[in-house]
Amino acid sequence: MTNKTWRVGVAGLGTVGGGLLQFLAERPDFAPAGGRAVITAVSARNKTRARPVDISSLAWFDDPVALAASPDIDLFVELIGGSDGPAKAAVETALKAGKPVVTANKALIAVHGAELAALAESQGVPLLFEAAVMGGTPAVKMLREAMVGDDVASVAGILNGTCNYILTEMEKTGRSFADVLREAQGLGYAEADPTTDVGGFDAGHKISILAALAFGCAPNFAAAEIEGISDVELLDIKLAKDLGYRIKLVASAAKTEDGVAVKVHPSLAPLDHPLAQAGGALNALFIEGKRIGRIFIQGAGAGAGPTAAAVAADIADVMTNAQRPVFQAPAGALKPFIAIDPARAVGKAYLRIMAKDQPGVIAAISETLAECAVSIDAFLQKPVEGAGGVPIVLVTHATPESNLLDAISRIEKLQTVLERPRLLRVARI
């Protein structure tokens, strides 16, 4: 098969699709085992939009499903996005027609990965999605290929460059979330509707995929515990730094005797930790193996070049006839995803309490925490100009989250407390 020319159909010609067009036009013979990959047909919403490569000689399809079914392509690349609709229909069509599929669609794989894996394996064709997580940084291949000789205990990291950029700029410049978000939209880091990114859902899709690969379970985005960064205040960024931490949006998946915990939360990472030092739009990931120990990877998580490179790597795997289950195990052997009750999670936490500046406040808060079996690891009381009260900040020892939530509810009712305490987790990394 080394001399074969693979006719590639691409649905979706946005940033990544344009990058792939340009790459394959320049290097159709990039695959190490030989052969050529040539884009011969495309589909997109707008035929006349300016693109980095002339597409006038390519077959045009208004309907991506029709492109996926075309007998004139050998491999289908889906870059449309979205968990349902045309993207899902087109991928299903290509797989049913016995065509290999490469996609960058994290929502599709996170929501429908198990059923698509079963379809792909029943047809004996690959379904590959390296570009769905961390762009060009090989997180998927690391778990699906490099870690098969180990038992993965946990994965955790920064999986959304938009959120990382916003939090980095808030700390660096002292500007509010809303102000930095507007700048990120102007620079193209954030969409006009940024909910998927800043709401934590993009990171949730990605960590759901990594959990499936790490633990051999079916991806289950619906079971992920997700909190975005919209409520992160500049005050907390400053106070966390005073305590020796930096706030990052951390996505994590861990396997326990009870099941799998998949979470996305704004979390505190020690200032000297590699996750805390990954700034701007970078992505970063830790993988903990029982035999190998800790592996850390960092790189660009988005953009035309990096993500197109990941798509091309998957195309090369198809061209070399690489055969692996879509996830860590054949689709029929994927374990049920058993989510852990968040209230049973145990970890350290940051509590910021806005209180009146009067005697007895700290004693009342300390007594309430003790009643809820929450012990204090670090404490900071630092008047902040314009804060509307005195912020009292605590970092707790590891404790069940149910205890923390009980303490927060009780502290909120104290007459000296001005608002519901702010809870942030301390990352377990």
**Secondary element (H or E) of residue 202:** helix 201-215
Q: Are 87 and 14 in contact (CB under 8 A)?
A: no
DSSP single-letter state for residue 84: S
Residues 6 or more apart from 63 whose CB is under 8 A from it?
A: 43, 86
Handedness of CA 128, 133, 138, 139 (dihedral sign): negative
Q: Are 208 and 214 in contact (CB under 8 A)?
A: no
Residues 6 or more apart from 212 whose CB is under 8 A from it?
A: 113, 114, 218, 219, 327, 328, 334, 337
C-alpha dist (Å) from residue 287 to 228, 260, 333: 22, 15, 23
Give the angle subtended at the CA of 301 by the CAs of 331 and 155, to the nearest 5°. 50
Residue corresponding to tokens 């993500």: 307
Token pair of 346 as six digits = 């145990």
Crossing angle for the helix pair 304-319 and 15-26, nearest 10 degrees?
60
Residues 6 or more apart from 341 whose CB is under 8 A from it?
A: none
Crossing angle for the helix pair 106-123 and 85-96, nearest 10 degrees?
20
Q: Are 73 and 42 in contact (CB under 8 A)?
A: no
CB-CB neighbours of 371 under 10 Å: 12
Query: Does the annotation mark 206 as catalytic?
Result: yes
Catalytic residue of the set 206, 248, 263, 348: 206
134/60 Cα distance (integer angstroms): 30
111/204 Cα distance (integer angstroms): 11
Q: State the catalytic residues.
A: 206
